[in-house]
Amino acid sequence: METNRSSQHEMLARQTADDRARGQFVVGLKRQLRAMTRGNEMIYSRLAEPRFRARHGRSPDTIEEVGAELAQESYYRLWSALTRGAQEMMWDTVERTIARDMPRMLDAARRLAGAAAGGSLSLDPAFVPPPDVLTADIHCQPGGYMRSEGGDDLMAGALYESGGNMYSSGVGIGRRDSKAGAVIGFLAQRFPQLRPRRILDLGCSAGSASVAYAASFPDAEVHAVDAGPAMLRYAHARAEAMALPVHFHQMDIRRLRFPDQSFDLILSHNLMHEISSATMARLFAESHRLLRAGGLVIHQDGRPAPAGRGGIRARGGRGDRVAEARRTGHVVPRRRREVSRGLGASAAAGSPPGWCSSRRCRTASRPSRPRGPCRIPSRPRRAHAAPGPWVC
């Protein structure tokens, strides 16, 4: 069984021909809008940046300054509105499919709960939702990652997988590309002797990476953690449907209820860009506490700017914006965000590593490129296929 975006399994919502047509439209629109981002770069370097420079005698230095300047351009405003609309259309499209197929999916999940793959699901009724995931619908996923109606509800996980597949297609990620696949390839190349006995996948969402590790290391015991109960119900049923044993736990990555030194391979995928600097510091501290001697920790996400190249880097990720929104009461935070230049400055300040995943942030040292327009929600092409994992 393939463990990438081409995986077909019993828990995947079944599309009608109409659903497929609607999905193709959304993917086409997203691709078109991605192509239009070049226009944003052009209007920034030819219009917005020179105008700001003429007024202030310097280039914009924060995403707020860049955003405010770009927002004066009708091209950018149109692109921005369409991009937001396309993202909402994507969720609307997959939610319709899932809602129609939900009775079948719930039946399948009930049956699979006792399946023989050997995985498990442990939900915590006293769980206190972490603020990073509670306050905002990250990526506009309806209801957010914590969405749960209780009982058997698994909508959040179903949305995450189907929406993620459509999103990836819209940004040009191939159906056979996978974040875990890239890390597994990296491990085979760099650590061919690695035979982990216990693996931990942090912020597992629908469990797509967790099952990939279970498939690649069949002798290992794979554990996976997330905050969202409906995310985990879906992940568990999905893993059982794929006959891959994974133990799913509802836990906060800031306070993991595993004993010290209990894993020899600890991973996360695309988690860091969504958590606050404070949570990231806890993620690293917990990874260190749980790691056995000789083990490996790999936290994979979008590639940061090379050190010393002068690229602008926003400290922290979406989580910081969410934390800020919570403090200020704004749904869309407006406060100036702390920005540091280059990895060196960030490390020298003693802050945990943090960066913006926007490609243009990472190439901000080039004079013809905008400097730090993090409001532009574009992702690097094929970011998941070539994640550049960091090993610590």
Chain contacts with ligand SAM (rule: CB under 6 A): 130, 132-133, 145, 179, 203-205, 208-209, 225-228, 231, 252-254, 269-271, 274-275, 279
Least Å from the CB of residue 205 to ligand SAM: 4
- The angle that helices 17-43 and 74-113 make with each other, rounded to 10 degrees, is 140
End-to-end CA distance of the chain: 31
Residue 300 to residues 85, 134, 388, Cα–Cα distance (Å): 29, 23, 7
Q: Which is nearer to ligand SAM, 208 or 216 (CB)?
A: 208
Q: Which is nearer to ligand SAM, 298 or 312 (CB)?
A: 298
Cβ neighbours for 60, distance < 8 A, ≥ 6 positions apart:
49, 52, 66, 69, 371, 372
Q: Which is nearer to ligand SAM, 235 or 305 (CB)?
A: 235
- The angle that helices 208-216 and 229-241 make with each other, rounded to 10 degrees, is 40
Q: Which is nearer to ligand SAM, 207 or 311 (CB)?
A: 207
Least Å from the CB of residue 241 to ligand SAM: 17
Task: Give the residue among 260, 269, 179 at the shortest CA–CA distance from 224.
Answer: 269
Least Å from the CB of residue 70 to ligand SAM: 26
Least Å from the CB of residue 109 to ligand SAM: 18
Burial class (CB in 10 A: 0-12, 13-18, 19+), 143: middle
Q: What share of the chain is helix, strand, coil (3-state, %, to 5)?
A: 45, 10, 40
Start-end of H helices in the chain: 17-43, 49-56, 63-70, 74-113, 131-134, 155-170, 179-190, 208-216, 229-241, 277-290, 318-328, 342-348, 359-362
Least Å from the CB of residue 250 to ligand SAM: 8
Q: Which is nearer to ligand SAM, 97 or 165 (CB)?
A: 165
Q: Which is nearer to ligand SAM, 238 or 371 (CB)?
A: 238
What SS3 class is residue 50? Answer: helix
Torsion angle defined by CA atoms of residues 148, 149, 152 and 156, in that order, rounded to the nearest 10 degrees: -30
What SS3 class is residue 120? Answer: strand
Least Å from the CB of residue 201 to ligand SAM: 7
Least Å from the CB of residue 243 to ligand SAM: 20
The residue number whose beta carbon is nearest to ligand SAM equals 203
Least Å from the CB of residue 35 to ligand SAM: 25
Q: Which is nearer to ligand SAM, 209 or 242 (CB)?
A: 209
Q: Which is nearer to ligand SAM, 48 or 211 (CB)?
A: 211
Q: Which is nearer to ligand SAM, 106 or 138 (CB)?
A: 138
Give the other-Cβ count within 10 Å of 381's Cβ. 12
Least Å from the CB of residue 92 to ligand SAM: 20
**DSSP category for residue 45:** I
89 — phi, psi (to 5°)? -65, -35
Least Å from the CB of residue 296 to ligand SAM: 17
> Are the CB atoms for 70 and 76 separated by under 8 Å?
yes
Longest dimension (CA), the chain: 68
Q: Which is nearer to ligand SAM, 4 or 279 (CB)?
A: 279
